[in-house]
Every structure is written in structure tokens, then in C-alpha cells.
Amino acid sequence: MERVLVTGAGGFIGSHMAKYLKDKGHWVRGVDIKEPEFIENPANEFEVMDLRDKGNCLNATKDVDSVFSFAANMGGIGFITKVKADVMHDNVLINTNMLKACVENDVERFFFASSACIYPHELQEDASKIAYLKEKEAYPASPGTPYGWEKLFTEIMCESFTEDYGLETRMARYHNIYGPYGTYKGGREKAPAALSRKVAMAEDGDSITIWGDGKQIRSFLYIDDCMEATYRLMQSDHKEPLNIGSDEAISINRLADLIIEISGKDIEKEYDTSKPQGVRSRNADLTLIKQALDWKPTVSYEQGLEETYSWIEQMV
């Protein structure tokens, strides 16, 4: 049994991970700037603290063997294109202070939640073809948002901490993780949760608003698949950043249609092209993770969205 710190354990992926590790028999300390929002007691011990502060990072990393780092100031495309300075400032502080605290407290292994947002936006501007993004395509670097630049910077920082201090680091480039027990309102929510909320709140005959023309292409990974892949990566010898996502491309229109079908309601779609919609086409290339971890997604969009929609429907 290992002693593990999960940061961001009050948020979506962090609270799932804390519970997943606790259920596997690890001793888990959860830390977040807020109490867990939706999962009760995800960790053995939970502390509210601001990880932008180095002293708090030192306290959080005391007596643990490994750290899963999910704490970040982040949200969906509407949030990260509006809040730029604070996203960079807060996340650089959290990640620099956490890495240094891990070294000072002799932590063995550090997991960093990077993002598909690090990939060059030029590779993702054509909605007529599916952009399967490979890990090696991250350079020459040209992320489309400050959020993406901060993630790329922290990947390099992880590699530097490994080289200079021997801290083992593992990096996942997550591609749109979704599922129940995550933010679904308030402005930080992402497309599957936002669309589920809109459909859950609509009546027969209403319409819901899609951001953009709905032809944007993405892929989404269900949270249970994300847990398994992340755990395998953390235990593996794979030191370079690795895509964790689904390679089943889906348009936002199709995603909305699936949620509407699950709801059983008669709902129309309308479009607001003045809203931020991100890149035109983004999908994960999973060649490397299949080789390195013998992992691939198992949950279909129908199953995953059913779980997500049912939970959000109850919440609203």
C-alpha cells in the first residue's frame, strides 16, 4: 500500500482519482482549494489549501510516495479564452511549487495532467479532415491558448526536474475527459456537461444553443477509462508525454444529438457562432499508448453519455 497525494481532489478528475486509488487500497491525501463538490470523502484525509503557496505544497507533500497533480485554474473553451493571465499565473505557481516541494520531501513519482491544448493550432484548423494528433507533433510548438502554453511549459519543467533531481515524472496529454461528478454549470463546464445540462433543462419543443456551427470535431474519453489509463501510466516506465483520450472522432452536432436521443425529448438545435468554439478538428492518435501501456478506451459514447446525462439530469 502506497501513500499518495492527489491535488485538485475537490474537482472532477482529481476526486475520481482519489476515490479510485483509495478503493485500490492506497492511503490517499486529497488537497484542493475547495471541499470536494460532488464525491463524498474521496480520500482518507482531505485538506483545503491553496497550492499556489510553496509552504502549502510542502505540507501537502509530506510523507507521501507519489503525487497525482490535477490542481489547476481551468475550464472549458469559454473560460480559458477569457481568463488568460490568471490561468497562466496560478498554474505556473501551483506546478513550480509542487515540483520543488516533491524534491524537498523526497517524493518518488509525480504525475502531471497535461492537455491536448498543447498541440499546434495550425494542425487543427480544417474541419473537413480528422486531425489525429501524435505526441511528436507537439513541436515546433504553437498552442492556441495561454492554457496550452502553460501545460507545455510544465511538461518541460517535469523533464528538467527528472534530469536534474531524479524525480520520476509521468505526463498525460488528456483529450476531453467527461463523466458524472464534474462541473456542469457556472462557466467552467465543458461541452458534454454543458450540452447535458441544456438538454436536461429543456422541455419538449424547445431548442438548445450550440456554440459555433456544431461541425467542430473532437473526441471524448469517459472518466473510468481515464482512471485506468492514468494508473497504468503512473506505474509504467514511460517517461515522455502520452496521449490519453479516445480516437473516435465525433462532431459537436452528433454529440448533442446523442444526448438528445438519451433524454427522449423532442429538442431542436440552434447555433451561436459568436461564441468561442476552439479549433476545428482535434482527435487523439493512440498508437503510442496502445504500444506502451496496452490500453485502449472501452466505454462507448452511448454508455458514457447515458451515465453523464442521468447524473446531470438529477442535479438540475
Number of H helices, E strands in the chain: 10, 15
Residue 117 vs 267, nearer CB to ligand NAD: 117
In whole angstroms, the minimum distance from the beta carbon of 265 to ligand NAD comes to: 26
Q: Is 172 exposed, middle or buried (0-12, 13-18, 19+ CB in 10 A)?
A: buried
Query: Does residue 309 contact residue 250 with C-beta atoms inside 8 Å?
Result: no
Quick one: 36 or 212, whose CB is closer to ligand NAD?
Answer: 36
Residue 27 vs 38, nearer CB to ligand NAD: 38
Q: Are 111 and 172 in contact (CB under 8 A)?
A: yes
- Taking the complex as a whole, the smallest distance from the CB of residue 88 to ligand NAD amounts, in Å, to 12
218 membership: H or E segment, kind and range: strand 217-218
184 is catalytic: no
Shortest distance, position 158 Cβ to ligand NAD, whole Å: 13
Other Cβ atoms within 10 Å of 53 Cβ, number:
14
Is residue 283 classed as helix, strand or coil in its secondary structure?
strand
The residues binding ligand NAD (CB under 6 A) are 8, 10-14, 32-34, 50-52, 70-74, 90, 94, 113, 115, 174, 176-177, 182-183, 190
Q: Which set of grid coordinates corresponds to residue 100?
A: 520543488
Give whichever of 12 and 295 is closer to ligand NAD, judged by the CB atom: 12
Nearest-CB residue for ligand NAD: 11
Q: Yes or no: say if 107 and 169 are a contact pair by the CB < 8 Å rule.
A: no
Rounded to the nearest whole angstrom, what is the least distance from the CB of residue 208 to ligand NAD in the complex? 21
Considering 20, 119, 132, 147, which one is annotated as catalytic?
147
Break the chain down into helix, strand, coil percent, rounded to 5. Answer: 40, 20, 40
DSSP 151: H
Sign, CA torsion 54/60/65/66: negative
Beta-bridge mates of residue 46: 30
The minimum distance between CB 242 and ligand NAD, in angstroms, equals 13
- Closer residue to ligand NAD, CB minimum distance, 53 or 265: 53
Q: Which residues are designated catalytic?
A: 147
